[in-house]
Amino acid sequence: MTNKKLFIPGPTMVHPDVLAKMATPMIGHRTKEASELQRNISDKLRQLMFTSNRIVLSTSSGTGLMEGAIRSVTGKKAIVFAVGAFGKRWHELALLNGVDADLHLEEPGHPNFPETVDRYLKTGKYDTVTITHNETSTGIMNPIESISEIIQKYPEIVWMVDTVSSLGGVKIEIDRLGIDVCISSSQKALALPPGLALASVSEKAVERCKSVGQKGYYLDLGNLVKYVDEKDYQYTSTPSLSHMFAMDFQLDRILKEGIENRFIRHMEMAEYTINWASHHFDVFPMPGFESMTVTCIKNTRNISISELNNELGKKGMVISNGYGEHKDKTFRIAHMGELTLDDIVEVTDAIEDILKLK
């Protein structure tokens, strides 16, 4: 068993004390203790997410809640804005569930622009919008502040945001931005083992769920919320209590670090990586729209990413190749979760040594 330092965009490294919490002895999932555990997690997540909305947890990865959410809230038609593979996934999930949806895919490297969002919403054809806040496949961070200003002009819209690889690393003020459904996973910037997903759900989204017909059972957002409301923070089926013990503890660690400090740490790591990448290679996203948790680097030197990773592996580190069609044309260095600036300096120095960039 090798314990490499992970510079991949999920799963990220988990602190040993958090890992140990996964081994907490079981409790009944219908006990007062389970309610209390789940209530505590929700309260802490509300702080991290700047929201007073309800929180639901799902024993699935983030894709599960993305699938459940799009089929639970789309009454008329959804417009899916994408800047990479995870954005496109939301469109695929819609179609596979018989949900009417259009896809707007931006030019490579470009973010979703607020004017484009406005152009679609003006048609009046849509009642649901999805945006990827931080597109992990291309390292693009979308301008959700300015997109929010457009969406607030259309009160009938339920707005869903994928923050799978940004929540816990980047400030996302859900209530101020008016995000109705904000989805994330445990294994990225929150630095927990994979297997638990979470979402905040606004009153508007809860109301919408009531008017939508076929929503399945396990991932019906309306049903999840109803259970949380009526059964004191419990779930329809047996959840991964092990993840919840770990999450409760990890959220304490995050609050102890200080939410703002944590965001600053991520910004510093991003700034360093983006500068380093611009100096030795080129950065994939349009300037100003670079992710704060993962840098996607253009392979301008035509290096073999797998050979680079072999060499990094000998030093106990691993980075990520490009995603899908960008596999060899880009590579990615993640800087999220438990990582610090010292770790980033260590991996970029090692890359300089291996590639003789010095």
Ligand X SMILES: *Cc1c(COP(=O)(O)O)cnc(C)c1O
Beta-carbon contacts of 73 under 8 Å, excluding residues fewer than 6 positions away, are: 128, 158, 160, 180, 181, 205, 208, 209, 212, 221
Minimum distance of ligand X from residue 213's CB (angstroms): 25
**Residue 167 in contact with residue 184, Cβ under 8 Å?**
yes
Number of residues this chain uses to bind ligand X (CB under 6 A): 13
What is the distance, to the nearest Å, from the Cα of residue 224 to the centroid of all Cα atoms in its chain? 20
Place of tokens 């490579």: 108
The answer to whether the beta carbons of residues 12 and 187 sit under 8 Å apart is: yes
Please check whether residue 51 is in contact with residue 175, taking contact to mean a CB–CB distance below 8 angstroms: yes
CA 267 to chain centre: 16
DSSP helix/strand/coil, 338: coil
3-state secondary structure of 269: helix
**Identity of the residue, 151 or 183, whose beta carbon is nearer to ligand X in the bound complex:** 183
Residue number, 10 or 169, with CB nearest to ligand X = 10
CB nearer to ligand X: pick between 192 and 312:
192
Report the nearest approach of ligand X to the CB of residue 258 (Å).
24
Nearest approach, Cβ of residue 82 and ligand X (Å) = 11
Inter-helix orientation angle 221-230/203-211, to 10° = 120
Looking only at residues 176 through 195 of this chain, which bind ligand X when binding is defined by CB under 6 A? 185
Residue with Cβ nearer ligand X (74 or 134) = 134
Q: Count other Cβ atoms within 10 Å, centred on residue 336.
A: 30
Distance, CA of 322 to chain centre: 18
Kindly state the smallest distance separating residue 190's Cβ from ligand X, in Å: 11
Candidates 98-106, 132-140, 217-225, 334-342; binding stretch for ligand X (CB under 6 A): 132-140
The answer to whether 10 contacts ligand X (rule: CB under 6 A) is yes
Give me the least distance between CB of 80 and ligand X, in Å please.
12
61 binds ligand X (CB under 6 A): yes
> Shortest distance, CB of residue 165 to ligand X, whole angstroms?
4
* Residue 285 in the binding site for ligand X (CB under 6 A): no
86 binds ligand X (CB under 6 A): yes
Q: Which stretch binds ligand X (CB under 6 A): 57-65, 246-254, 278-286, 337-345?
A: 57-65
Per 3-state DSSP, the chain is made up of helix, strand and coil in percentages (nearest 5) of 45, 15, 40
Helix (H, G, I), strand (E, B) or coil at 346: helix
Rounded to the nearest angstrom, the gap between the alpha carbon of residue 230 and the centroid of all alpha carbons in its chain is 28
Residues 212-271 that bind ligand X (CB under 6 A): none
Instruction: By CB under 6 A, name the one of 136, 142, 273, 320 that touches ligand X.
Output: 136
86 or 233, CB closer to ligand X?
86
Quick one: 61 or 278, whose CB is closer to ligand X? 61
Q: Look at phi and psi of residue 288 and say left if phi exceeds 0, alpha if psi is from -120 to 50, else beta.
A: left
132 binds ligand X (CB under 6 A): yes
Nearer of residues 303 and 318 to ligand X, judged by Cβ: 318
Q: Is 271 within 8 Å of 314 (Cβ atoms)? A: no
Measure the CA–CA gap between 296 and 138, rounded to whole angstroms.
6
Stretch that binds ligand X, among 40-48, 55-63, 199-207, 257-265 (CB under 6 A): 55-63
149-168 positions binding ligand X, by CB under 6 A: 162, 164-165
| Least distance (Å) between residue 10 CB and ligand X | 5
Please give the distance of CA 315 from its chain centroid, rounded to a whole number.
29
For the bound state, the minimum distance from the C-beta of residue 137 to ligand X, rounded and expressed in Å, comes to 8
In whole angstroms, how close is the CB of 355 to ligand X at the nearest point?
27
| Contacts with ligand X, residue ranges (CB under 6 A) | 10, 61-63, 86, 132, 134-136, 162, 164-165, 185
